Amino acid sequence: MKYKFFALVAAFAFVLSGVGAVFAQTKAKNQLAALLPASDGVVILDVQRILNETAPQILAGKPLALGEINAKIDEIRDKTGLDARQFEQIVIGVATKNFTAQKIDLEPVFLARGKYSANELIAVAKLASNGKYREEKIGSRTIYVFNGKEIVAQNHPRTKNSLINGMIDRLLNSLSNEIAVTSLDGNTLAFGSLARVRETFETKSRVSVEVLNLATRKPNAVISFGARLPNGLSKFIDLENDELGKTLDSIRQMSGAVEVSANNTAISVMAKTLNAEQAQSLHNTLEGLQGLGKVLINGKSEDKKVLLRIIENARITRSQAEVSLDLQIPQNDINILLAGVK
């Protein structure tokens, strides 16, 4: 009897340790995100889990692609001294600037914490720039301002993989002309647009509890985001359908997350409107699109069958003014979809 009791205690302790580890990781991510300046949106990346768990699982059916990614990480490390595997958490605070009917400027600031010396990484960046940077001051703190596109272009990894080439090209195109970098603490970098890096240190205004709560709805997510949309979502999407535009404009909050467990990837998105009536309209629109997708996706190929299963199994629910979309994608289906990706 006592052996059963000890076994039960040991099992209970094991479960508690696992739960404790999740809560510790979540607390660390939340603490880092709370250091962001006032932001309209927040993205949280668990880099260690993405590199060590998520990528190997999702790319299990495409080992050459996983090997290619690891080779590129090694190549960038050898060229610049920057090893992506040293990053543990990255949080991104995005502010909307010049919000007009014609244009929206998004200005990000990144806080990256890891197993490295922040000052040593800055020294590596200075070397990689060949001296092409300038210095600015915030009190006694030095900010280094680099030409982002120039640095990445001269250290552009050479690869024949079209998927990775495309990712790198999109990165190059998304960079502004200038990237400001400084250390937040011994193992945390702050970088992004100069204005946003300055906001991080010059103002006491931090990201709101509202946005933080949206970004952390799923504590076990490897990627999550939360955003406040004071002027609606249609401004971010080029639409010709006025009715769909009105539905999207009713959305005032959004959050989303990617969770990866054994043999399954879960993707969830939540949208909150001003009232329940608008939420019902959004719910109806999503169900209509789901039905349309079932009709449009036809064919007997395996990848078409997978897409049809994903659409059919998508769960659309409403609670008051919140509408949620949840997808559960088995790893076998991911393998089939990735098989056709070059």
Q: For residues 118 and 136, give the distance between their C-alpha atoms in angstroms, rounded to a whole number.
A: 17
At 181-227, the pLDDT tens digits run 999 999 999 998 899 999 999 988 999 999 999 999 999 999 999 99
Which uninterrupted H or E stretch holds 187? none
**Contact indicator for 8, 188 with CB cutoff of 8 Å:** no
Q: Which has more confidence, 120 or 224?
A: 224
Which uninterrupted H or E stretch holds 44? strand 41-46
Q: For residues 254 and 94, give the distance between their C-alpha atoms in angstroms, rounded to a whole number.
A: 14
Q: For residues 220 and 124, give the distance between their C-alpha atoms in angstroms, rounded to a whole number.
A: 33
pLDDT confidence tier of residue 13, bands split at 50, 70 and 90:
very low
At 332-342, the pLDDT tens digits run 989 888 886 66
**What global pTM score does this model have?**
0.80
Q: For residues 213 and 225, give the distance between their C-alpha atoms in angstroms, rounded to a whole number.
A: 10
Q: For residues 75 and 73, give the distance between their C-alpha atoms in angstroms, rounded to a whole number.
A: 5
Chain-centroid distance of CA 134 in Å reads 30
User: 164: closest CA among 88, 69, 263?
Assistant: 69
Residue 341 has what pLDDT? 67
Amino acid of residue 42: V
At 50-59, the pLDDT tens digits run 999 999 988 8
For residue 99, give Cα distances in angstroms to 40, 90, 96, 198, 315: 12, 26, 6, 21, 33
Joined together, the tokens standing for residue 57 give 């699982």
Amino acid of residue 132: K
Residue 14 has what pLDDT? 40
**Contact indicator for 314, 327 with CB cutoff of 8 Å:** yes
Which uninterrupted H or E stretch holds 166? helix 162-174
At 268-324, the pLDDT tens digits run 999 999 899 999 999 999 999 999 988 888 777 888 899 999 999 999 999 999 999
Q: How many CB atoms neighbour CB 35 within 10 A?
A: 17
Lowest mean pLDDT among 11-20, 78-87, 305-314, 323-332: 11-20
At 240-269, the pLDDT tens digits run 556 777 888 889 999 999 999 888 999 999
Q: Which has more confidence, 73 or 327?
A: 327
Q: For residues 68 and 47, give the distance between their C-alpha atoms in angstroms, rounded to a whole number.
A: 18
**Contact indicator for 76, 85 with CB cutoff of 8 Å:** no
Whole-angstrom Cα Rg for the chain: 22
Q: For residues 295 and 275, give the distance between their C-alpha atoms in angstroms, rounded to a whole number.
A: 31
Coil, strand or helix: which one is 153?
A: helix
State percent of the chain over pLDDT 90: 43
Lowest mean pLDDT among 26-30, 73-77, 182-186: 26-30
Q: Is the pLDDT reported for residue 131 higher than 70?
A: yes
Lowest mean pLDDT among 82-96, 130-144, 239-253, 298-312: 239-253
